Amino acid sequence: MRPNVWTRTLVSVSAIVGLAAGSLVTAGTSVAASDAKPAVGSEISVLAVNNLGLTTEEAKKVQRVLKDNWGYAGEIDGLLGTNSWKAMQKWLTHWGYPGDQIDGIVGPNTVKALQKWLKARYGYTGEIDGIAGSGTKAAFKRMANACPNCP
């Protein structure tokens, strides 16, 4: 065979080997991707801090009351997370404003329970709609600033 034929053959074989190796790498990646864990963002929404407009200092006031009376065992850090909201849900349920379940999630039912509490005690005048709008946040702020003397 001529040297030109050998060169073409060598280049063709190299290309085929390279494509095959690339296919194996891609196949391995696609298998690995199917075993991947769910995106972190899907877990963050449940565990996220939700101060409903309170400053860190205001949230600390609420946490102190929750720690003293409602089973909150976390740090007084001014971050109303899942455990703070579980204690808040116990508080609301105790006072006759249940929000379905004590799960630490600030969903519409928890917000409705909070709105009822705030309407009865802290000047909330809006609808009981489960939406934590500006009126809900303002009344929650009034409540926080009344702590530790709240409820």
CA atoms of 111 and 50, how far apart (whole Å): 11
Our CA angle for 132, 41, 48, nearest 5°, is: 40
In this prediction, residues 1-13 reach a mean pLDDT of: 49
Q: Report the greatest alpha carbon distance in the chain.
A: 98
Contacts of 53 (CB under 8 A, 6+ apart): 132, 137, 138, 140, 141
CA dihedral 10, 12, 16, 22 (to 10 degrees): 90
Sequence ranges of the domains in the chain: 3-36, 47-146
**42 pLDDT tier (thresholds 50, 70, 90):** very low
Query: What are the angstrom distances between the C-alpha of 10 and each of 15, 39, 127?
Result: 9, 45, 78
**pLDDT at residue 23 tops 70:** no
Give pTM, 2 decimals: 0.67
Is it the case that residue 137 has pLDDT exceeding 80? yes
pLDDT digits (tens, 9 = 90+) for 58-105: 999 999 999 999 999 999 999 999 999 999 999 999 999 988 889 999
pLDDT score recorded for residue 37: 44
Would you say residue 120 has pLDDT above 50?
A: yes
Closest CA to 81 of 46, 42, 133, 41: 46
Q: pLDDT at residue 126 above 60?
A: yes
Q: What is the mean pLDDT of the chain?
A: 78
Burial class (CB in 10 A: 0-12, 13-18, 19+), 125: exposed
pLDDT band at 27 (very low <50, low <70, confident <90, very high): very low
